[in-house]
Amino acid sequence: IVFIVGVNLGPVSSYTRSIVVTMIPPGFQTNFLSFYELTQKGTAWIGPLVIGTLSSLLGAEYFSLISIMTILAELLIGLPLFWLVDVERGQRLAQAYGEAE
C-alpha cells in the first residue's frame, strides 16, 4: 500500500495543481499559486507529527502499522473532499471574477 501511494503521490500533486490553475481568475495566478504552495508546504509537518506521536505512545514495533493507517486515514478524508469540488463551477466563477476586475 505504501508503495502504491508513493508512486501515485507525484501525479496526484500535479493533477491537483493543474485543477487549481484552471480555477484561478485571470491576472491572479501569482496570488493564488503562492497561497496554494504555502498551504501545501505549511501542512507537510502534520503527517510526521502524527506518526511520531503515535509511535512514541504505542511503541516503535507498531511504526509500520501506524504509517499505513495514517496514510489510509489521509486518503479517506481527502478523497471525498476532492470529489466534492465542482471544477466547472470554479472555472466559471474565476472567469466571471476576472472579467469583473
pLDDT of the residue at 88: 94
Rounded to 10°, the helix 2-22/63-83 angle is 30
Cα separation, 99 vs 26, in Å, equals 8
pLDDT for 2 beyond 80: no
Q: What is the mean pLDDT of residues 68-92?
A: 86
Cα separation, 49 vs 43, in Å, equals 10
pLDDT in tens, 17-69: 888 899 999 889 888 888 888 887 777 788 788 878 888 888 877 777 877 78
Q: Are 25 and 33 spatial neighbours (Cβ–Cβ below 8 Å)?
A: no
